[in-house]
Amino acid sequence: MRPAQRPRRSGVNDMQVVQFSDPHIDLRFPHRAAALARAVTHVNTMPAGPDAVLITGDCVEHGHPDEYALFQDLLRPLRAPVFIVPGNHDDRAALLTLYPPPAPNLPGFLQYAVDDFPLRLIGLDTHRPGHGGGELDGARLDWLEARLREAPERPTLLFMHHPPVRTGLHVMDGMDLRGREALCDLLLDHPQVLRVVAGHLHMSLTAGFAHTTVMTCPGTDATLHPDLSRPAQLRVQRQPPMCLLHAWTPETGLNSFTQVIAPAPWHPLFDGDRWHDFDPPHGPYLSL
């Protein structure tokens, strides 16, 4: 999905990527569609539009055609190309039809590399039909290893639905990723992988993995805060929805920021020459 992009920033070698996850579009619950629409507006009103948007799975709730039709309608206003991988609620065949992967890709899977940008993007298909958990089997890992070996010097971000780490929450860890140990071993030989980003948890999690870092993106509808004192239960608190912003430059490498999806205006705090007061009506004065 490659609509006309907004003008690029001044740095020709920099890149910004916004990550959404787990919209779970369901016609019975219109608030989920409204939440994804707010997320799209958030991206379109950023002062410097991203080069790409990643959606890390569970695009819809049941994999129904009418859900995907609404999902497509909601994404249509985005002014950046969208790259999608399936989650456990998705229908892989439907997504392959709606969003054919670019080359190089793994036939039969929504697994592909995007080589158009300074930061290489590789989407991994962890879908395991009929299961809440995910899988990276030998064929998918072999394909990934071949892609990494062909570009060992290119900074790379992997995106997928199921995170390859444990959370300590028994319910979520019962829907984890088969093949994570093999993925860890593979990545130890490929230091160009700067980040592994995922969804699935509806929570923000950061963890070490191999030589790199795993981050999970909360859902567009809400962020869930876990009760880790009761790991056998799944007690959560709904918090504001969030997305991740991954920013790459040759000088800084890859930095990842967590952003609340909120209908708040952008304010010029520093215009390049001088500071401006920032005193919102419901918050304290901000000074750096």
- The CATH number assigned to the domain holding 53 equals 3.60.21.10
Question: Is 10 part of a structural domain of the chain?
Answer: no
User: What pLDDT is recorded for position 219?
Assistant: 94
Q: For 213-235, how does the pLDDT look when each residue is reduced to its tens digit (9 = 90+)?
A: 999 999 998 899 999 999 999 88
Question: Is 275 part of a structural domain of the chain?
Answer: no
Question: Is 33 part of a structural domain of the chain?
Answer: yes
Question: Is 242 part of a structural domain of the chain?
Answer: yes
Question: Is 135 part of a structural domain of the chain?
Answer: yes
Domain span at 52? 19-260
User: What pLDDT is recorded for position 266?
Assistant: 81
Token code pair at residue 208 = 């070490």
pLDDT-based confidence at residue 283 (cuts at 50, 70, 90): low
Distance of CA 143 to the CA centre of its chain: 21
pLDDT-based confidence at residue 10 (cuts at 50, 70, 90): very low
Q: How many domains does the chain have?
A: 1
Question: Is 126 part of a structural domain of the chain?
Answer: yes
In terms of phi and psi (left: phi > 0; alpha: psi -120 to 50; beta: otherwise), the region of 15 is beta
Question: Is 235 part of a structural domain of the chain?
Answer: yes
Q: Do residues 200 and 88 lie in contact, with contact meaning Cβ atoms separated by under 8 Å?
A: yes
Taking the model in full, what pTM does it have? 0.92
pLDDT-based confidence at residue 236 (cuts at 50, 70, 90): confident
Cα separation, 112 vs 139, whole angstroms: 13
Question: Is 88 part of a structural domain of the chain?
Answer: yes
